Amino acid sequence: MEPELVDALSEREIEILRLIAEGLSNREVAERLYLSTETIKWYNRQIYDKLGVDNRTKAAAVARRRRLLEGRAGGGMPRSDQPFELPVQLTSFVGRQTQLAEVRQRLEKARLVTLTGPGGAGKTRLALRVASLSVEGYRDGAGFVDLAAVRDPAAVTQDISAGLRLYEIPDQSATETLVRFFRDKHLLLVIDNFEQVIEAAATLNSLLKGAPELSLLVTSRESMRLSGEHVYRVPPLDLPSLDSDPQSLASHPSDAMTLFVQRARAVKPDFTLSTDNAQAVARICHRLDGLPLAIELAAARISMFGPRALLERIEDTFDLLTSELRDTPERQRSLHATMTWSYALLGEAEKTLLARLAVFQGGRTIDAVQSVCSPGLPIDVLDGLASLVNKSLLRTTEDPSEEPRFVMLETVHTFASDLLQSSGEMDEMRRRHASYFVDFVERAAPELRGGGQQMTWMRALESEHANLRAALRWAFEQGEFEVGQRLVAGLGNFWHRQGHWSEGERWVALALERVDMAPKDLQAAVYFAAGSVAFSRRDPGHGQRMFHRAKELYRELGARRMLGWSMVLLAVGSVGNKAEYEEATETCQEGMRLLREVGDMSGLAQGYNAIGELSRAVGKSEQAKSAYLKTLDIAREMGDSMRVAMNLCNLSFLALEEGDARRARRLLLEGMRIFDDLTSRPHLICSLASQSGSLAALGEFDRAAKLLGASDQLLERYGLTLQPADVPVIEAYRRAVITGMSDEAYAAAYEAGRTLSLEEAMALAEDTAKH
């Protein structure tokens, strides 16, 4: 019998259900969505559970009968430039009214408030609830950054930037980029899990000094020990009086009891608090000291044990641990006891899986778990993951590509790491982990150079950023230089495109230290990655030296494809340098000949684009136009949307040169809409300024000035810069706008533009907003 209510299906689940209804097999669905068969099997389980069925035929029937597939389609992320957002909480917030008021009062008095307490005390949930209640009091809202996966204090500023989706400024440190970004923001920023990078606490002072309206709400197991810091120790949830009668306990449960009941209902929907079980529940909450995580772990077992039986087992476990943990604070002992008890109830295979999962940082996909953890594991990985989720030891989220990720609270991760260390499997797991991500990166690397899957792989690598760092750190610390160099070789383009420039620079430097010891093909690949990172840092001279070394090695190896790519990118470094135009063009054309011979269409498109940029920068417009059109044809044939959009924008510059302002505007808008669909904020923001040229030529000076203001403000806000070849063009557009207006009118419009969000600026560019 079908359930009365159907749980909400995610967009990805709807997409898979639609393909199931069309009769596709798991393998066919996986191929269509570029996922693994194991991942599709996991999604099928979720779909069946939510629909109350046990197979695909019934799922398709329920979907048709309830019209679940009508009017639902997958789509990209919503268009918005708002980087400040709080994570959606999937479970209700319980109690803590006094603590909410007290923390909010501290934020009114201090710009740095640290919530301290042991793992599992509820610091994160309290911080997020405070932020959600306080957000209206901050002009720029409230944001959230989680540092749980960060182990290197030197990477804190980079991770805060990444968490806010900022891009580094090439000639500035990550800290300088953040200070510049925050300096005019009235914002509450929640920074979670700071304890493992406490050595970087001084960075917070730098941010507060450089940004006078920034407030920080930090969670940590210990305080920052900074001047001006207000420390708030998060207490346990309110506990019931054990002297109360059962009726009173059942009708007026404490916060701790309410949390227990809510989490118990997640695994046993018919569970209710009654006069028969209220005292047992009250004693459980007391024994666990009101610690939210401990209560959640215990409540997850209610489908196996009734409250009285549950209490007996918790008492036994706690008593066993008391003697060996006498020097541990009471609340820490309670949590450890609960986790140990919960762990003891797992099957041996589940215990092994939980420990092995600790090798990952920042989450893990089904494919990764299957590869790293399954060898020798006497349990199906999907069954094991589902069991650990049901027992609250794992939680599920979706990454930007909507693939399920399994995450651990930091407290659980620490516990599991201790288990892995004591199991004797740590070295083997870290080796497998690194091996998996080497393979992952090497599969991604060719796709990053262009083609229809470029953005899919960029997002996948972004989701695995913490794991990639962990693999790199292990490789270089353990002297596994070839492993580290292979990772660096595959990640150069990722660091370049995604704005992780200082990080790329750091790992490239380590890879280059012993590059001469690597096989020649790996040496070449490391130099190639080093060239990409150097171009990111606006150091074309060093970049060209790196690409030149790569070129010579690839020539020696007879690797025509990568020789061609090296020559094309070597030429890119000469864009805008008239003295190098002829030589760079010849180098590029030779590289394109090689790429054509091996059938590398992405490389050929990159070559034509490079010829276009080289030619446009020296005023050879017809050559540039021809090259851009060829790039456009190849990109469309390949389904490379990013390159299509880039070349539409390039062609718009030339259309305006030819005096066709309306065509220039149409081309640019078409490109901008593609950037918008791809959620490519950097390209979209840079394109706003380009609109000013065609608008000025059409006499729409006010709108052009507003878009210049919006572009300048957004470039500053996100730490972006225009491409060197575009700077003189945009400045010429700016002069045309200024010439067409009075100084007062330009200043007013420009300042009005600086107040626009990206969404508002896009609407203005499309002429769908009032102006």
- pLDDT for the residue 566: 96
Same domain, 578 and 484: yes
Closest by alpha carbon to 458, among 486, 492, 505?
492
Rounded to whole angstroms, the Cα distance separating 702 from 771 reads 8
User: What angle separates helix 292-299 from helix 278-287, to the nearest 10 degrees?
Assistant: 130
On whether both 448 and 534 belong to a single domain, the answer is yes
- What span, in angstroms and rounded, lies between the C-alpha atoms of 164 and 156? 12
Do 627 and 608 reside in the same domain of the chain? yes
The SS3 call for residue 339 is helix
Residue 725 is assigned to a structural domain of this protein = yes
Longest dimension (CA), the chain: 92
The pLDDT value recorded for residue 76 is: 32
Q: Are residues 200 and 339 in the same domain?
A: no
326 — pLDDT class (breaks 50, 70, 90): very low
For residues 438 and 449, give the distance between their C-alpha atoms in angstroms, rounded to a whole number: 18
Q: Is 509 part of a structural domain of the chain?
A: yes
Does 635 or 70 have the greater pLDDT score? 635
**Residue 71 reports pLDDT greater than 70:** no
What's the confidence (pLDDT) of residue 639? Answer: 87
Residues 44-57: what's their mean pLDDT?
A: 82
**Residue 5: its pLDDT value, please?**
36
Please name which of 718, 508, 690, 651 lies closest in space to residue 83, comparing C-alpha atoms.
718
| Residue-level pLDDT at 164 | 80
Q: Which is more confident, 470 or 43? A: 470
How confident is the model at residue 656, as a pLDDT?
93
Last-in-domain residue among 344, 362, 387 = 344
Per-residue pLDDT band at 509 (split at 50, 70, 90): very high
Is there a single domain that holds both residue 414 and residue 331? no
Does 329 have pLDDT greater than 70?
A: no
pLDDT at 402: 64
Mean pLDDT of the chain: 86
Torsion sign over Cα 155, 161, 162, 166: negative
Instruction: Quick: pLDDT tens for 140-151.
Output: 888 898 888 788
Q: How confident is the model at residue 692 (pLDDT cuts 50, 70, 90)?
A: very high
Predicted pLDDT of residue 91: 65
Report how many domains make up the chain. Answer: 6
In a domain, 335, yes or no: yes
Say whether both 363 and 266 belong to one domain.
Answer: no
pLDDT at 77 over 60: no
Q: 531: pLDDT confidence band, cut at 50, 70 and 90? A: very high
The average pLDDT across 528-534 equals 93
Quick one: pLDDT at residue 654?
Answer: 94
Distance CA 257, CA 294 (A): 12
Q: What are 388-411's pLDDT values in tens digits?
A: 887 778 888 776 656 789 988 777
Quick one: 158 and 37 in the same domain?
no
Q: Does any domain span residue 362?
A: yes
Looking at the fold, whether 377 and 334 belong to one and the same domain comes out as no
How many CB atoms within 10 Å of residue 427? 11
- Position 88 in a domain: no
531 lies in the same domain as 550: yes
Instruction: Report the b/e string of 658-677 with b at 16+ CB within 10 A.
Output: eebbebbbebbbebbbbbbe
Residues 432, 371: contact at Cβ < 8 Å? yes
For 125-186, where are the E strands, in sequence order?
Answer: 142-146
CA gap 16, 262 in Å, rounded: 31
Co-location of 185 and 281 in the same domain: no
Top-confidence range, 232-236, 566-570, 715-719? 566-570
Question: Could you tell me if 262 and 220 lie in one domain?
Answer: no
Task: Find how far residue 445's CA is from the centre of its chain.
Answer: 19
CA distance 526 to 520: 10
- CATH number for 167: 3.40.50.300
Alpha carbon separation from 554 to 304, 516, 564 (Å, rounded) = 62, 15, 9
Q: SS3 for 224-257, per residue?
A: CCCCCEEEEECCCCCCCCCCCCHHHHHHCCCHHH
Q: Domain holding 613: CATH number?
A: 1.25.40.10
Q: Does the pLDDT of residue 74 top 50, yes or no?
A: no
Domain end point (choices 391, 424, 457): 424
Structure tokens at 533: 């990172």
**Structure confidence at residue 331 as a pLDDT band (50, 70, 90):** low
The verdict on residue 685 lying in a domain is yes
Mean pLDDT across 643-659: 93
Question: pLDDT tens-digit profile of 155-181?
Answer: 888 888 877 877 777 667 778 888 888
pLDDT of the residue at 81:
47
Q: Phi then psi for 480, rounded to 5 degrees?
A: -90, 70
Query: What amino acid is encoded at 739 in this protein?
Result: T
What DSSP string runs through 561-627?
A: HHHHHHHHHHHHTTTT-GGGHHHHHHHHHHHHHHHHHHT-HHHHHHHHHHHHHHHHHTT-HHHHHHH
Q: Tell me, what's the pLDDT at 266?
A: 81
Confidence of residue 448 (pLDDT cuts 50, 70, 90): confident
- Portion of the chain with pLDDT greater than 90, in percent: 44
Question: Do 250 and 317 have their domain in common?
Answer: yes
Q: Report d(CA 712, CA 706) in Å as an integer.
A: 10
Q: Is 415 exposed, middle or buried (0-12, 13-18, 19+ CB in 10 A)?
A: buried
Q: What is the pLDDT of residues 111-139, one digit of tens each?
A: 999 998 877 788 888 999 899 888 888 88
For residue 472, give every residue at least 6 positions away whose Cβ sits within 8 Å of its Cβ, in sequence order, or none: 484, 487, 488, 507
Identify the weakest region by mean pLDDT among 326-335, 509-518, 578-587, 757-766. Answer: 326-335
What is the per-residue pLDDT for 321? 43
Helices (H), 190-329: 201-210, 246-251, 255-267, 278-287, 292-299, 307-322
Which range of residues forms the domain containing residue 387? 348-424
pLDDT at position 90: 59
Q: CATH no. for residue 371? A: 1.10.10.10
Are 480 and 474 within 8 A, CB to CB?
yes
Find, among 615, 698, 705, the residue nearest to 659 by Cα. Answer: 698
Q: Is the pLDDT of residue 351 over 60?
A: yes
Picking from 368, 396, 424, the residue at the C-terminal end of a domain is 424
What pLDDT is attached to residue 474? 96
Residue 420 lies in a domain: yes
The answer to whether position 81 is within a domain reads: no
Q: What is the per-residue pLDDT for 620?
A: 93
**Which residue has 């990722």 as its token pair?**
494
